[in-house]
Each structure stands twice: as structure tokens, then as C-alpha cells.
Amino acid sequence: MAPLTKKKTSKPQKPIAKKNPKNSKVKTPKDDSTSESEQEEILQQQHENDVVDDDSGSDSDLSSDGDDPLVDDFLQGSDDDEEKASGLDSGSGSDLDSDSDDEDIETKSRAIDEEREREKEDADAEMQLNIKEESDEFRLPTSEELEEEALRPPDIANLKRRIEEIVRILSNFKTLRQEGSARKDYIEQLKKDISSYYGYNEFLIGALVEMFPVVELIQLIEAFEKPRPMCLRTNTLKTRRRDLADVLINRGVNLDPLSKWSKVGLVVYDSQVPIGATPEYMAGFYMLQSASSFLPVMALAPQEKERVVDMAAAPGGKTTYIAALMKNTGIIFANEIKAPRLKSLTANLHRLGVSNTVVCNYDGKELPKVLGQNTVDRVLLDAPCSGTGVISKDESVKTSKDLEDIQKCAQLQKELILAAIDMVDANSKSGGYIVYSTCSIMVAENEAVIDYALKKRDVKLVPCGLDFGRPGFTKFRELRFHPSLEKTRRFYPHVHNMDGFFVAKLKKMSSSKPSSKLSEPSEKEEEETELVEEEEKRINDLKENDNETSESKSKKEKRRNPPSKLSNGIKENGKESSDSKYKVEKKRKFPSKPSNDVKENSKESSKREPQKKKKKSQHKEEISKARLNVFSCFDISFWDHSNAVEKNISSYLINIHALSMPYFENLRFL
């Protein structure tokens, strides 16, 4: 081992001198400034040095091994190590530079993000400030500005913005109102803007403003501008809802169950086929029907084997639903006053397989005379109305309806509901119910009609059996209704996503009708009674004045001509008997002043009687007694009917003639 160490120590002396240039030659090519020719020269010199080393050799194998490049690498490292080292040196510098660059980018990006956030915050603050300034600066338009707007085409954007501002101010009127402006001014301007923006007439928008708060009013009007979803009612006489839904889905219809409150309804979102022309529709598996028209039939809840009347049946949606609930048992009278609509009614009845229905064409007010009173178990009255709840289907209602139309509809509805109540049998074991419904939201057509029926007939309100819907009004402005009207139900498009509707259910307690004293009269009746009372007061005043004058005259006459003493009112001389007759007439006092005709007749009769031929003295006493009896009878009849003398004079003349007949018979006998 010792020689090895010596040889190792001796070897590095030779190659160190040789390897230094070699190392320099190896390092030189890494300089970028050297050209290709210089690199070739360096390679040649290196090759020559290698040849010299091989020729010189060494005495031992170890010396020869020293010339091996691996030995050089072992002692001083290889070129790759140098390159790696240089690469590490350069890489460490580049890493430092890249780290510094990354840090700069991060700081710059952070600064940019902060600037953006600041700009966004400033923009939001500026927007809020602008909104506050605009809201604070909002003022009602003056009359001059309104006149200028009337001359120009309507500015839709300005109207919309003004409606929103007025609604916002009215929702918090105390803090946001303009000084010197009353709530009435804002409401009047809101009415005008809504009328011009949405196209309503003045009457209808005024009625809606009275019924709803301004915020809810805008929601209602916006809901009227959108169509209601299309609904189907499954005909349970032929199929089930699940089977029908599967078939329609396979045909490309996108649908869902209507809601929890309905077991037969389906709502359709879109369809690749026409819903009203599918084979299932033609076969009578379903009926196109709005969701709101389900409600009256559900409230009626007809039972099997009952007698039911649908007073306004066309086009047959409710009638067929009643037949399905009754399972084609019992009997249904489907009445429709308009003959052209009977075609659609009968067509739907045949298509859906209804076999227990009788179709008739009568005026609903005459049905009690046709079907008889107290003959049916239940009546459904879907009364004709103004249609203010279905504006989304018929936009002409916005401008075509006025106060007169509402009053006409209300009068017709009152007559129809009384006819419906009269048809129902109060003693029915399973029935005795009347359901009243309208597609209107007007109070005059709904609560006022039910309150009228409660006063005119012995009925009471019962729960409708519907778990949703708003209760009816018990008071509206100056009107006060029966407290039980809370049991009625109202439905609105902006709340329940269906047409505006009203439903009330009545139970008939007895067939008796309340007296007119107990029932409060209607407006017309009140006016008539007031006029009659005024006329009666005037008549009474005149009668009192006449009585006073007649009494004063009779007193004066008594003072002038005091009555003579009579023995039983009769004397033997005819002159004295005639004088006593006139004195008896003067003594009698009538309770009221008779008419001129009666006076004249009495005077003429009194004048004619003294002119008659004188009879024998033995019969004068009987004649005078008969005369006194006639006048006494006349006085009694006149007293009994004194209040109506001026109204019917002829009847009293007939009575007088009848009472005087015995007198003339006595004369004939004598």
C-alpha cells in the first residue's frame, strides 16, 4: 500500500504542469467571444499533448493510469462538474433576479387590485349620492309641466321613474314628502301616471287605488300584464293524473302537478304539440281550465246521488268537474241563458263522457219557477260579472268598464243569488248549500251581494273549505258588512299566481223569508222610504192645519147659534125635526178633514132631503131615526179609514152607498 501512496503523490507533479494548460484549454471554449477557428486550434494542441504523454509513458501502470481523464476528473473534477458549478453560479444569480421580478409583479398586481377596489367604492358612493340627491330633489310636476307633457308624446321612461318615486314617497310619507304637498296630490298624480303608462281608465284605477296600498297596487297591475300559466284538469271519469302526465310527457309536454290543494290539476310550462289538439284531449282525458275555476267546485263539494244546479254552466268546465266528483250519479241541471254558448257546453259534456246532466236554456232568475222552490240540494252560481280579475286575458276591461257597468252587474247578481237560495232545500240531508263566485275583485260585486243575501234570506256563511286565499272585506270605506264575511275568500294574481277570483259558501237555514222590517233596505228602497216619509209629514201637517181651522169654525158657530134642547132629538113638527138633524151634523167632529167631493155630496144630500114630500106625522119619527142611523154609520166608516181618505175617495163613496141602502129600502117600504 505504501508504494501506492508514493506513486500517487509523485503523479500529480507531472500532470499538474500539463493539466493547467489543458484545463485552460478546456475552459476557453466556454467563452462566447472565441470563434470556431480558435476552437479547432485548441483541439489540435490538446490532441498533440495527448500523443506526447503516450510516448513518454511511465514505469508502472499507475503512472499510465494517471494520464486517464478519469484520474484528472478524480483529482480536479471533470468538465461537467465545472459546467454544473458555473451553471449553479449563474442559476443562483438568475433565481435571485426571478424572485425579485415575481415580488415586483405581486406588489404591482396588489396595487392594481387596491386601486380597482377604491374606484369601485367611489363609484358606489357616488351612485348612492346621486340617488339621494335625485330622491331629495324629486318634486311633483307643476301644471305648466303637465301641459307641456300633454302636447308631447308620452315619455315612458320618465313616467316609470315618476311612478316609482311616488310609490317610494307614499310608502314613507312623513319623512320623504315634499313640503306643502298633501298625500292627495301624490295619489292624484299616481293615478294619472298609471293610467297613461298602463292604459287604464280613470274609474277603474281609482277603484283599485281605494282597495290596495300603493306598493301592492303596482304589484297587482304588473301581474295583470303577464299571462297566467296554462292549466289542465284531469277527467277522473276516464283516467288518472299520473297516467295522463306520463303520456303527455312522452309527447313533449313540460308539465308539473298544479299544487298541493288540487289532486287533478296540471300546470303546463311549454309543449312541442298543441295542447288543445292531442289525441288525449279529443278522447276527453283532460279539460283546459284555469286554476281559479277549480275553486268554486271544490267549495261546493257535491256528493253522489244529489240534485245540483249550475246556473251559468257554459263552456262546461265546472259542470264536468261536478259530474266527475259525483261519479256520474245523481242529476245536474246545467243552465245557460245564451243559446250560442250551448254548443260548447254540450260538446264538452259529450267529449268528457258526462251522462248525468240536463242542459237547459233559461234566465237564471226564472229557474225557481221552472225547477221549483226548495227542490235541489246544492246550487253553483258563477255569476256574470265585470271581469276585473281577468285583465290578463281581456285587456279591453281596462278601458271599457265604468261605474254604471258595475252597478248593473251587481243588481243582476243580487237577483240571481236570491233565485239560487230559493231553489235550495233547507231540509236536505246532505246539502242545502249555495256557492257564489265571480271573476271580479270589485267589492260591489262580491261582499255587497253576499251581505244583501244575508239580509233578504235566512242563510248564513260557512267556511269554503279552501286553506289559502285572503279573507273578504268586513268593511270598505263607508260600507260595513256582516262580520261573517271573513269566511269568504279572495284570490289575486300577484299573490296566488291565478286570476282574480271571489268565492263564498252559504248554508240555507230555513225556507222562511225575513220580514222587511228586520232586513235593511237597499239604497233605492231607502230613497223611496225617505220620499214617502216626507210626503206623509206634509200630509199630516196639512191635516193638522185643517183640523185646527175646522175646530175654530165649529166653536164660532156654536157661539153664534147655541143648540136647542131636544127630547130624543125628535119633535112632532117636521120643521123642528129637520132643524135637529142639521144641529146633530154640526155637533159631530171628524178626525180629519174629508175631501171636497165628500163634502159636496153630504151638502147636496142634506139639501135634497128637506125638499122631499112630507109624509104622514105617524111615520116621521121612524124616518128621522133611519136618517140618524145612516149618518152614524158614515161617521164610523170614515173614522176607521181616515188615514187613507185622500188616496182612494171612490172606495169610500161606494161604502157610503152600501151603508145607505137600508135607508132607501125603508123609504121604499114606507
Known catalytic residues are: 439
The span from the CA of 605 to the CA of 659, in Å, is: 14
Return the C-alpha cell found at 266.
296540471
**Helix 79-137 / helix 13-27 crossing angle, nearest 10 deg:** 40
621's CB contacts (< 8 A; 6+ apart) are: 570
DSSP 424: B
The span from the CA of 385 to the CA of 408, in Å, is: 9
| Binding-site residues from annotation for S-adenosyl-L-methionine | 312-318, 336, 363, 382
**Helix 183-198 / helix 156-171 crossing angle, nearest 10 deg:** 150
The span from the CA of 106 to the CA of 113, in Å, is: 10
Return the C-alpha cell found at 68.
486517464
User: Helix H segments across 199-257?
Assistant: 202-211, 214-224, 241-250
DSSP 393: T
**Positive or negative torsion for Cα 419, 423, 427, 432:** negative
The span from the CA of 500 to the CA of 477, in Å, is: 21
Task: Decide: 470 and 526 in contact? Cβ < 8 Å.
Answer: no
Spatial strand order of the sheet with 286-288 comes to 253-257, 265-271, 230-234, 286-288
Could you give the angle at the alpha carbon of 544 between the alpha carbons of 539 and 545, nearest 5°?
100
Looking at residue 188, its amino acid is E
Measured between its terminal Cα atoms, the distance across the chain in Å is 200
Cα–Cα distances in angstroms (integers) from residue 465 to residues 409, 453, 458, in the given order: 27, 21, 21
**606-634 burial, b for 16+ CB within 10 Å, e for fewer?**
eeeeeeeeeeeeeebeebbebbeebbebb
Return the C-alpha cell found at 15.
500532470
| Binding-site residues from annotation | 312-318, 336, 363, 382
The span from the CA of 663 to the CA of 668, in Å, is: 9
DSSP string, 542-576: HHHHHHHHHHHHHHHHHHHSPPPP-STT--SSHHH
The span from the CA of 577 to the CA of 398, in Å, is: 86
The span from the CA of 136 to the CA of 159, in Å, is: 18
Q: Is residue 342 classed exposed, middle or buried when 0-12, 13-18 and 19+ CB atoms within 10 A define those classes? A: buried
The span from the CA of 208 to the CA of 191, in Å, is: 10
User: Helix H segments across 241-313?
Assistant: 241-250, 279-282, 294-300
Residue position matching grid coordinates 256582516: 482
Q: Is residue 180 classed exposed, middle or buried when 0-12, 13-18 and 19+ CB atoms within 10 A define those classes? A: exposed
